[in-house]
Amino acid sequence: MAKALMIQGTGSGVGKSVLVAGLCRVLRDIGIKVAPFKAQNMALNSFITKEGGEIGRAQAFQAEAAGIEPCNDINPILLKATSESGCQVILNGKVYGNMNAVDYYAFKDEAWKAVTEAYDRLSQRYDVIVIEGAGSPAEINLEKEEIVNMRVARHTNAPVILVGDIDKGGVFASFYGTIGLLDNDAERIKAFIVNKFR
């Protein structure tokens, strides 16, 4: 089983994807077999793997940084928005169907199974998996349904590095607020990165 490290953020756009790619490259350069992983990504643009599946472009970029061929397992769920309240669900690289928010929440158990199975397969092939979260782990309205942040950290027993964007202002309040809302999961956060510092 691979060791895991997870990068989470205080919100969207704080630089998680680039940091994961950078960590993958550093680990690769010191001779560690490493792969990126993002349980669920929301993006309109996708990358087609050699398996013929669709994954997020960011995960393909991270795989390149890790020196590996992008595969479906590094991004088992890709959501492509089709309207303000609906999306096309790509599961394990293949189109599963269109869903609205209610449909997707009903689908979460199946989605979580796909996430854990994809991660566990990767974990057999690599020494380290660098995991990217999505948005913020402190969205308390989504806590029971989320399958991309602390639930993944618990499944993989990953220590978490929390990233904040100082360029947007309020980075330290964002760190403090995130920790305050996480309850027991706050103990998983082992370090902070203040990103976009000028």
- In order of their start, the domains of the chain are 3-195 (3.40.50.300)
Question: Residue 72 in contact with residue 31, Cβ under 8 Å?
Answer: no
With a pLDDT cut of 90, the percent of the chain lying above it is 83
Q: What is the pLDDT of residues 90-120, one digit of tens each?
A: 999 999 999 998 899 899 999 999 999 999 9
pLDDT for 198 equals 66
How far is 61 from 64, CA to CA, in rounded Å? 5
- Can you read off the two tokens belonging to residue 14? 């704080």
How far is 53 from 37, CA to CA, in rounded Å? 15
What band does 169 get if pLDDT is binned at 50, 70 and 90?
A: confident
How far is 133 from 139, CA to CA, in rounded Å? 12
Q: How far is residue 75 from each of residues 107, 129, 134, 146, 155, measured CA to CA in Å?
A: 17, 12, 12, 15, 16
Question: Residue 27 in contact with residue 19, Cβ under 8 Å?
Answer: no
Q: Is the pLDDT of residue 145 over 90?
A: no
Average pLDDT, the chain: 94
Q: Which of 46-50, 127-131, 153-157, 169-173 has the lowest mean pLDDT?
A: 169-173
Q: Is the pLDDT of residue 84 over 70?
A: yes
Q: What is the pLDDT of residues 25-80, one digit of tens each?
A: 999 999 999 999 999 999 988 999 999 999 999 999 999 999 999 999 999 999 99
Burial status of residue 116 (CB atoms within 10 A of its CB: 0-12, 13-18, 19 or more): middle
